[in-house]
Amino acid sequence: MTKKYLVFNWKMSPSSAEEALELLEVIKEAISQEARPSNPFSKIIVLPPCLYLYLMNQIINADKVLAKKITLGAQDVFWHNRWAVTGGISPKMLKNAGARYVLIGHSERQQYFKETAYMINQKIKAALVNNLIPIICVGEKEKRDVDSFLVKKCIFEQLNNNLAGIKLNAGDTFIIAYEPIWAISSHNQGQGQPESLDDINKMIGLIRFWVARRFSENIASKMPILYGGSVTGANINLFAQSSVADGVLVGRASTKKQELKKIFQKLKRTNKKFT
Q: What are phi and psi of 26, to 5 degrees?
A: -60, -45
Would you tell me how many other CB atoms lie within 10 Å of the CB of residue 28? Answer: 17
Residue 23: partners with Cβ closer than 8 Å, 6 or more residues away = 10, 14, 254, 255, 257, 260
Q: 73 forms bridges with which residues in the sheet?
A: 101
Would you call 179 a catalytic residue per the annotation?
Answer: yes
Among 108, 115, 140, 179, the one annotated catalytic: 179
Ordered per-residue pLDDT tens for the chain, 275 residues: 567 899 999 999 999 999 999 999 999 998 887 544 444 455 799 999 999 999 999 999 999 989 999 999 999 999 999 999 999 999 999 999 999 999 999 999 999 999 999 999 999 999 999 999 999 999 998 888 888 899 999 999 999 999 999 999 888 999 999 999 998 865 555 556 778 899 999 999 999 999 999 999 999 999 999 999 989 999 998 887 788 899 999 999 999 999 999 999 988 776 555 55
**Among 232, 229, 224, which residue's Cα sits nearest to residue 196?**
229
Among 106, 108, 115, 195, the one annotated catalytic: 106
* pLDDT value for 2: 60
Peptide bond before residue 14 is cis, with ω within 30 degrees of 0: yes
* pLDDT value for 3: 75
* pLDDT value for 163: 98
* pLDDT value for 39: 44
CA–CA dist 159, 18 (Å, integer): 38
Across the chain, how many H-helices and E-strands are there? 11, 9
Would you call 106 a catalytic residue per the annotation?
Answer: yes
Homologous superfamily of the 3-274 domain (CATH): Aldolase class I (3.20.20.70)
**Among 111, 122, 168, 132, which residue's Cα sits nearest to residue 53?**
132
CA–CA dist 124, 166 (Å, integer): 8
Q: Where are the domains of the chain?
A: 3-274
Torsional sign, CA 157, 162, 167, 172 = negative
